[in-house]
Amino acid sequence: MDTHPFGMEILSCENRLSRFHTHICRPLSALKGQFADQAAYNQMLRTGDPVVYEVYEVLRPVVAGELPHGLSIVHPGRVGDEYFMTKGHFHSVRDTAEIYHCLKGHGLLLMQNEGGEWATEELRPGRLVYVAPGWAHRSINLSETEDLVTFFVYPGHAGHDYEAIERRGFLKLVVQCDGTFRVVDNRVGSGVVER
């Protein structure tokens, strides 16, 4: 991999970077078990498999001094009352942070740590969120019409641990209620109901 400095453009109109290594598209079918309303999830899949989010990433060598970075685009939509969102993950090396900078749209970063604490931070253009070390994170698009576009950067040795979230879900769900969003308990995550 090139070890020289480089520059790039964030192509806002196209929601992509002028240079990147990977472009991941996550369709609804890749989020099996993540949305609380399984009937709504299955019903939606019967009529298609929309792309829920996309990620353009500039990869870097897997070492602590590097900074992989990219663009995350969560499309608008809902499964039942729950907004479209990313899978969410811990970093495999827990002691690693991440920064998200919102470029477009309106969303939430939902976070939780292994001690059972949770937090949300709103994402609006110009707003930056610092995901502290040890906090799992998921981006959620609160808009009915607009993409949520964020720029992220994290340490090269962080790695991604999806398993804990896939197994238990987040402690909280973010749902649409009376025209606004609410953060509610995830009864599945608390172990009351098996997913």
Burial status of residue 135 (CB atoms within 10 A of its CB: 0-12, 13-18, 19 or more): buried
- Taking CB under 6 A as the binding criterion, the range among 36-44, 86-94, 107-115, 120-128 that sits at the site for ligand S6P is 86-94
8 versus 193: smaller Cβ distance to ligand S6P: 8
Among 10, 40, 51, 55, binds ligand S6P (CB under 6 A): 55
54 counts as binding Zn ion under rule CB under 5 A: no
99 versus 183: smaller Cβ distance to ligand S6P: 99
Compute, in degrees rounded to 10, the torsion defined by CA atoms 125, 175, 111, 195. Answer: -150
Among 34, 86, 112, 120, binds ligand S6P (CB under 6 A): 86
Residue 141 binds: one of ligand S6P, Zn ion, none (C-beta under 5 to 8 A by kind): none
* Stretch 123-162 residues interacting with ligand S6P (CB under 6 A): 137, 139, 152, 154, 160
Least gap, CB of 187 to Zn ion (angstroms) = 26
Backbone CA torsion sign across 10, 15, 16, 22: positive
- Taking CB under 6 A as the binding criterion, the range among 36-44, 84-92, 101-109, 168-176 that sits at the site for ligand S6P is 84-92
Nearby residues of 18 by Cβ (< 8 Å), 6 or more positions away: 8, 9, 10, 11
- Taking CB under 5 A as the binding criterion, the range among 31-39, 58-66, 96-104, 115-123 that sits at the site for Zn ion is 96-104
Contact at 8 Å (CB) between 93 and 33? Answer: no
98 counts as binding ligand S6P under rule CB under 6 A: yes
Among 77, 98, 148, 173, binds Zn ion (CB under 5 A): 98
E strands of the chain, at which residues? 10-11, 16-17, 22-27, 51-58, 69-74, 78-79, 82-83, 90-91, 98-104, 107-113, 118-123, 128-131, 135-141, 148-153, 160-161, 172-177, 180-185
88 counts as binding ligand S6P under rule CB under 6 A: yes
Binding residues for Zn ion, rule: CB under 5 A, are: 98
